[in-house]
Amino acid sequence: MNLILASSSERRIELLKRITEKFKVIPSNFDEKKIEFKSNVPEYVMTLAEGKARDVEGKITERKNTFIIGCDTVVAFENIILGKPKDENDAFRILKMLSGNIHNVYTGISILDLSSGRNKIDYMCTEVKFSNLTDEMINKYVYSGECLDKAGAYGIQGNAAIFVESINGCFYNVVGLPLNKLNKMFGEMGINL
């Protein structure tokens, strides 16, 4: 089997390695700005995941027994998508918004089977509750620089772990690749990772 991850995310690569070592990484150049958010977060992340997988599909010549995994993860608070912060001030604003509140992390997954043309698409949602954060805590985290390349301005697997009061759902989804969901989707396609 030729398995391709359409992402250069170090976190996704590390997570996928937990269930298989046999995959290639081909980053997607899909322009996410082409997709308009129409107040339906699951539909949005699944559309982005499929777009990323389809973008990489165009780069593949060997189609037999080839599968492409496309993913997209977003943080949503009160139906507002909180993407990667533009700068440190934006990161502070986002974390202040999440402080003491519950937000949702959604990951869309698209698995393209290039042999058959089948495409399995699904999503996972995890509820995350943050403790009340002081400005000092937020500033310390923001100035660490860890937040700038992460949706919602935090990485649960890093120093922001201390912000998380509770989690309802898949931890790995919050990191960026829900392994149980991915494994089930492949199982439904008759593939045993």
Active-site residue set: 72
Can you say how many angstroms the Cα of residue 121 is from the centroid of all Cα atoms in its chain?
Answer: 14
Alpha-carbon distance of 134 to 66, in angstroms, equals 49
Residue 27 contacts residue 70 (beta carbons within 8 Å): no
Residue 25 contacts residue 45 (beta carbons within 8 Å): no
Q: Which value, to the nearest 10 degrees, does the dihedral of the CA atoms of residues 110, 29, 178, 185 take?
A: 20
Amino acid letter at 169? Answer: G
